[in-house]
Amino acid sequence: MTETQTPKTDAPPSSWYSRLRFAEFKVARLGAERFNLALIRRLTVTIWALTIVVLLATRTMSFGRSYVLVAVAIGLAAASIGRRNLLSVIRDWLPFGVLLTVYDSTRGIAAFLGMPTRWHLAVDADRWMFGVVPTVWLQAHLKMAEAQWWEVFTSFVYMSYFVVPYAVAGFLWLRDRDQWRKFTLRLISIFFLGLIGYVMVPAAPPWAAAKCTSVEVVDGPAFPTCITTPEQVVPNNLLGQVVPVHDGAAPYVERISSRGWEALHIGPVRDVIEVGQDKSNQVAAIPSLHAGVTALLAMFMWGRTRALGRTIFTGYALVMGFTLVYSAEHYVIDLILGWSLAALVMVICNYGEKAWYRRKGRGPADVAEAAEMEAATVSFSRRDQAALEGVHVDPVAGAEAARDR
């Protein structure tokens, strides 16, 4: 094959980025000459998966964002052996993790600034739309004394929010880093835009409002003593009384997002989730990012999956919405604002990306830089990945993979 058909990998390119990628390839090729990287990759991924199962079974692993990100990053590093440089996991995911850590550390800034918590806003909005608070109606008509089989499903859906977005991000990173960048940009954007809502309009969720009366929250406190009391009948509470249609059901609104695990006799899972809930911001209800992020997933994956994938992601967002309202985690108005925020993020990011590509395409210097980076990236095309493992790949397929990357 001539030099015009494929770039050489024996002479390093000129830019620092290209030289770095060239060095990464050299190190990977040296390892491939001494080890069976495909076998090592399979063994490492298996060990990682078994470790996650053991940690979950023994309640050692938390569903905190930092723990989930570390677990995903380790899994991606294992899946990258022999395919791409392991340092790329750190290079790509560390900034992502740092931004999410900054977000987590600033969620309670509304209390620090002394912003009054809105206890009546969402309650009044839901009553205006439906004539009744939907959470009260759902728990009155659906809740029973003991957790039902379908509550296992809703509890699993609620818990999945802490894992699914990052699992999807990991999948996209392995398949197409360009799509991964687009998704993480939108994910970071919706978190920080949601943070503006938490700061400007701190609001209490239904489970908290069911414990308090108007007199107890007249000054808009963020953490009144009433929310620390056990769940019980509270006369004149903000939501109103629950009149259950099923015998034995509690006549008051309960926070039951994790109750389904009792039906499977997996109490430890519920304990882990409730510990995480106690540590979270109790007045970060507007907008609902549970609803917003799942809607963002559905919107982002709509044009990237077929009919089955679209149905799954759309259904996931809708079931998440039902779960949040039924379990007293959010009001319907919170969901509407979360979905609207997701749509706004998609529109802004799509427009921004198109404007960036148009601007980048008009600049000769940008085109030359992109070409040089493309040449460096060829060193980790599928053609060279297969070469590391001693597998022959058709040159045309290698060229197409290089263009995709």
Residue 279, domain member (yes or no): yes
Amino acid sitting at position 132:
V
**pLDDT tier at 363, thresholds 50, 70, 90:** very low
Greatest extent of the chain over all pairs of C-alpha atoms, in Å: 84
d(CA 5, CA 190): 43
Does any domain span residue 18? no
Count of the separate structural domains present in the chain: 1
pLDDT in tens, 253-308: 888 887 877 776 665 555 555 555 554 556 666 888 999 999 999 999 998 889 99
How large a percentage of the chain has pLDDT more than 70? 70
Question: Is residue 289 included in any domain, yes or no?
Answer: yes
Question: Rounded distance, CA 194 to CA 203, Å?
Answer: 13
| Residue 103 placed within a domain | no
Q: Which two tokens stand for residue 145?
A: 């004394």
Q: What is the mean pLDDT of residues 144-149?
A: 83
C-alpha 142/C-alpha 123 separation (Å) is 20
In order of 125, 135, 165, the CA distances from 322 in angstroms are 17, 10, 19
For residue 316, CA distances in Å to 7, 84, 115, 240, 401 come to 45, 32, 34, 30, 32
Whether residue 72 is predicted with pLDDT greater than 80 in this model: the reply is: yes
Q: Could you give the C-alpha distances from 288 to 48, 89, 317, 333, 334, in angstroms and in order?
A: 33, 30, 12, 9, 5
The answer as to whether 255 is a domain residue is: yes
Contact, 150 vs 250, CB < 8 A?
A: no
Given a contact cutoff of 8 angstroms between Cβ atoms, the answer to whether 326 and 139 are in contact is yes
Domain assignment present for 339: yes
Task: Give pLDDT tens digits for 206-224.
Answer: 998 888 888 888 887 878 8
Give the domain range for residue 160.
113-362
- Please give the mean pLDDT across all residues of the chain: 77
